């Protein structure tokens, strides 16, 4: 995972229509959070959005890729996150619409209590 500061700034501006959110750097990338809920990941110049099954199907139909990374054991690990569709990379309103769906989904998931 790697996150360029210029891309982080671009993503913050591109998604500004969403309202209040914060970007927290972690593991070389960053989590995008609103209301204490992480709904997206920034990594390698890509916005990865959390998605339920219906949104995953819509994103796949738009040509999005599923988030995957290698583990120390050499296996691929996937998360329920998809790349922002290419058309939305050029259209902030479309990007915000996708991000809003991701945030709505993330809000439905229970928040784990700290141990």
pLDDT digits (tens, 9 = 90+) for 61-91: 999 999 887 767 777 777 889 999 999 999 9
Mind listing the pLDDT tens digit for each residue in 90-105?
999 999 999 999 999 9
Q: Give the integer Cα–Cα distance in Å for 38 and 79.
A: 13
Q: Are 52 and 78 in contact (CB under 8 A)?
A: no
Position 115 in a domain:
no
Position 78 in a domain:
yes
Spatial neighbors of 13 by CB under 8 A, at least 6 apart, are 92
Concatenating the DSSP letter of every residue in 25-76 gives: EETTEEEEEETTEEEEEEETTEEEEE--HHHHHHHHHTT--EEEEE-TTS-E
88 burial class (0-12, 13-18, 19+ CB within 10 angstroms)?
A: buried
Position 35 in a domain:
yes
Count how many domains the chain has: 1
Position 29 in a domain:
yes
Q: Give the integer Cα–Cα distance in Å for 35 and 107.
A: 9
Nearest C-alpha neighbor of 44 from the set 73, 81, 72, 19: 81
pTM of the model as a whole: 0.85
Position 89 in a domain:
yes
Query: What's the CATH code of the domain at 76?
Result: 3.30.1460.30
Confidence of residue 60 (pLDDT cuts 50, 70, 90): very high
């Amino acid at each position: 995972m790697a996150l360029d500061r210029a891309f982080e700034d671009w993503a913050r501006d591109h998604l500004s229509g969403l309202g209040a959110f914060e970007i927290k750097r972690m593991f070389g990338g960053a989590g995008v959070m609103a209301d204490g809920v992480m709904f997206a990941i920034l990594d390698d110049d890509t916005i990865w959005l959390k998605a339920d099954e219906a949104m995953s199907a819509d994103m796949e139909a738009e040509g999005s890729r599923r988030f995957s990374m290698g583990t120390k054991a050499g296996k691929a690990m996937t998360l329920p996150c998809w790349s922002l569709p290419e058309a939305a990379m050029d259209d902030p309103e479309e990007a915000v619409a996708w991000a809003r769906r991701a945030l709505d989904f993330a809000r439905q998931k229970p928040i784990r209590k700290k141990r």
